[in-house]
Amino acid sequence: MSDPVIKADHLVKQVSTANDTLTILQDVSLQVNAGESIALVGPSGAGKSTLMTLLAGLDVPSQGEIHLLGQPLSQLDEEARAALRCEHISFVFQSFLLIPTLTAIENVMLPFLIQGQDQDVARASQLLEQVGLAGRAHHLPSQLSGGEQQRVALARAFISQPKILFADEPTGNLDQQTASKIVELLFQLNREHGTTLVLVTHDQTLAERCDRTLKIAAGKVAS
């Protein structure tokens, strides 16, 4: 058994509104090992996405501690957490989130830009080829279909060779046929790169393809 890359202990997330305090997550503990793929499932509003933002260090829990790649997140400020993500973590989003004014290949190379590295065009082209978009490298997102846009997002996610990939409903905006192709691609790339995958989804069949499923209901782990 390899070491856990994510370790969360007794997480609580509360949000204050004008009138009262809402508890979104209550005493959630979990562990994800390197190379493992885990699905966070549950009904809408259960707190899956919130849990993902905490695990990825995008937000901080109200109580509890998270160790991400061995580092206690409570000890890191926002900048240090950003540096950690920059180096080791990637995302795929439901709404693709490509930059509309950059071409497909330029979108793929965006992480290099943030890391301050030289643009590795060859590698970006290779990834685009892997996702089946070799001929569309110089198209703008507006010239691509939804499925094609998500493939670009996949290529972008893997270009920085992340240790962990967080995917938030990656097929949520796609039709079934396209979705299944994207899922194939996601797992294939995940295997090839040996990435740890944390997947937030409604989709039971998608969840079943992961090594493990964690059910979240009313802010708690229900399994």
Structure token pair of residue 181? 């192709």
One DSSP character per residue, 187-223 reads HHHHHHHT-EEEEEES-HHHHHTSSEEEEEETTEE--
Minimum distance from residue 155 beta carbon to another protein (Å): 14
Minimum distance from residue 58 beta carbon to another protein (Å): 4
Residue 100 binding another protein, by CB under 8 A: yes
Residue 117 binding another protein, by CB under 8 A: yes
Identify which of residues 108 and 185 has a Cβ nearer to another protein in the complex. Answer: 108
Count of residues in the chain: 223
Residue 95 binding another protein, by CB under 8 A: yes
Q: What is the DSSP letter of 143?
A: G
Sequence-ordered strand ranges (E) for the chain: 4-16, 21-33, 37-41, 63-68, 71-72, 89-92, 164-168, 196-201, 212-217, 220-221
| Window 5-64: residues binding another protein (CB under 8 A) | 49-50, 52-53, 56, 58-59
Size of the site for another protein (CB under 8 A): 41
Interacting residue with another protein among 76, 82, 217, 218 (CB under 8 A): 82
* Helix count and strand count (H, E) for the chain: 8, 10
112 vs 86: CA distance, rounded Å: 9
Identify which of residues 166 and 214 has a Cβ nearer to another protein in the complex. Answer: 166
What is the binding site for another protein (CB under 8 A)?
Answer: 49-50, 52-53, 56, 58-59, 78-79, 82-87, 89-91, 93, 95, 97, 99-102, 106, 109-119, 146, 168, 173, 175
